[in-house]
Amino acid sequence: MRKINKIIIHCSATREGQAIDLETIRDWHVKGRGWSDIGYHYLVHIDGTISQGRLHSVAGAHTKGENQESLGICYIGGVELDGKTPKDTRTCSQADSLEALLYSLKAMYPGAKIHGHRDFSAKACPSFDATKEFDDISNLFNPENEKNC
């Protein structure tokens, strides 16, 4: 079993309101980049549904230098209608589903910290400060925070 110490949030860098499915992103990664599969472990769609990409047991292809010990989550969106300007385009349903998914993953991997892709790359992705926004979840269940009583 892989050791997971990071959960890294991404955006698809697609226009606000533009629905993109898992197979489209898989094609971008497999046909466009020559990867073996979609790079993410999860996609959070505009309507809040969650699709699983890679299995947890398989390293992702989402953050250079960080894939071996991380899970990658991508929400659909992240760019204004102009197709260029970064923007947090999460719908309420996406925000709720992403938060629920993070709580679930954090329970499975108590030592994992939540980050945005931008923490590891000179990109705006995921178009918001995920590390700051999810700091409370990141610190849940953390063995370092437990007191020995």
Whichever domain contains 57, its CATH number is: 3.40.80.10
Judge whether 148 lies within some domain: no
Nearest-angstrom CA–CA distance, 34 and 31 = 5
Residues 6+ apart with CB under 8 A from 105: 7, 71, 112
| Predicted pLDDT at 26 | 96
In which domain, by residue range, is 109 found? 6-141
Judge whether 121 lies within some domain: yes
Judge whether 1 lies within some domain: no
Counting as low any pLDDT under 50, the low residues of the chain are 147-149
Arithmetic mean of pLDDT over the chain? 94
| Predicted pLDDT at 149 | 42
Tell me the catalytic residues: 10, 40, 117, 123, 125
Number of domains in the chain: 1
Judge whether 14 lies within some domain: yes
Judge whether 147 lies within some domain: no
- Burial state string for 21-45 with b = 16 or more CB within 10 A and e = fewer than 16: ebeebbeebeeeeeeeebbbbbbbb
| Predicted pLDDT at 143 | 57
